[in-house]
Amino acid sequence: MKEDYVDYTTLENIPRFKQHFCQFLQDLKHDSDNLDESFRRWCIQLSKGRAFPEARRVAVYVLWFHCKLKQYHIAKLLNMSTRQIRRDMREIEKQMRTWY
């Protein structure tokens, strides 16, 4: 069985991440005119480790649940320590418990 190859070296190369993060951007800003440019700017901020915590947690959530990436890979993509990603994952789990 041949699997589809996906380049996970940058956030912009992960189609599922783009799909879900763009949805977040639309919900947040209602900005559909310049969505690709906005996505590119967010990817740069996220990959340099400069995004604010809420946006980083959304990125962690998407990469973790929708893209099925491991903690160390998420940390590498977001230029963060695995310890910080683990903290974000705990915070996400805590927020998810309040959803149900």
Model pTM score: 0.87
How many CA atoms lie less than 13 Å away from 4 in the CB half-sphere? 4
- State the Rg of the chain over Cα: 14
CA distance 25 to 64: 18
Predicted confidence at residue 28, as pLDDT, reads: 79
Domain boundaries, the chain: 12-99
Tokens 């190369």 appear where? 13
- Token pair of 38, please? 């906005």
Mean of pLDDT values over 50-71: 94
Mean of pLDDT values over 47-67: 94
Q: Which amino acid is at 16?
A: R
